[in-house]
Amino acid sequence: MNPTLVAVRGGLAAMWIELRQLYTNGASLMAQFLTPTLFLIAIFFLRDRTYQDTGLSLGELAVPGLLGSIIAFNGLYGIAEVLALDREDGTLLRAKTIPNGILGYFIGKIGTTAGAVLVQLVVVLTIGAVIVGGLSTPGGAVITLTWVIVLGLLATLPIGAILGGLIVGARDIFLLTLPLMGLIAISGIWYPITALPGWIQSLAQLFPMYWLGLGMRSALLPAEAAAIEIDGSWRHLETAAVLGVWSIVGLLLAPIVLRRAARHESGSSVAVRREKAMQRAF
């Protein structure tokens, strides 16, 4: 059998096993849904407050932002954290010893994270819609939502894998937290980006987070809501183009970075990282 096909099948099998473990473990479920639950509680208290003269409640405006932030944070930080931990405990080293093991490992981790994100999106969208009394979705909302989610995952997951491959120790992953939260804060995911200075708007548009939020709003808010966006438009072509570019760059670079990280893995390097982790623990 083709070695590449074997690696793909192995990666998909690992994905299903990890997803089953994820959703049959209470601690994992709490970790998955604690933050979205806190945001949903905030949306509940904002459901009756109207934003300016748009006729839309702050809660209704926040639901697309929450969905966009779930994709962005899990795609960039979540997968990077998993990869950093796997480098520290030797999982990546074990994958290296198997023919095409890095390919199978990459497919499994990307698939697991994507599956977990999709479950979160369905749950949060359903509960969020109930809280705000339904969303004023335009025609073609399902189609728009689908391509935005797919491109959003493709744009963020490989980049997250690259970051995870570059970070040496699991504790260093926390260095990503502040920059990532900063980018989310300036990307208009939680409030109209037009309220920010022009240079910040230009900076935010370089990264996928802004376009994720814009795409989500275009799918879940009425057409009139585009008036508070840049150029007063949902800019679907630009959204697809920017997310597509990030997807291509990530998919091209991620396997290279992971293979490079795997080449530098050895029993001694794993032992050194474990020793350092033990020293920090005590």
Residue 276 is predicted with a pLDDT of 61
Q: What is the C-alpha to C-alpha distance for residues 161 and 257, in angstroms, rounded to an integer?
A: 8
pLDDT tens digits, 152-209: 999 999 999 898 888 876 677 778 888 888 888 888 777 778 888 889 999 999 999 9
Q: Is the pLDDT of residue 39 over 60?
A: yes
Residue 149 is predicted with a pLDDT of 95
Q: Is the pLDDT of residue 62 over 60?
A: yes
pLDDT tens digits, 24-36: 888 888 888 888 9
Q: What is the C-alpha to C-alpha distance for residues 43 and 34, in angstroms, rounded to an integer?
A: 14
Residue 29 is predicted with a pLDDT of 86
Structure tokens at 212: 């994720």
Residue type, 253: L
Residue 187 is predicted with a pLDDT of 84
Q: Is the pLDDT of residue 132 over 70?
A: yes
* Whether the predicted model's global pTM rises above the 0.85 cut: yes
Residue 126 is predicted with a pLDDT of 92
Q: What is the mean pLDDT of residues 98-104?
A: 81
Residue type, 81: E
- Tokens 């209470």, located at residue: 26
End-to-end alpha-carbon separation of the chain, Å?
48
What does the DSSP 8-state code read for residue 50? B
- Three-state DSSP at 30 gives helix
Residue 266 is predicted with a pLDDT of 60
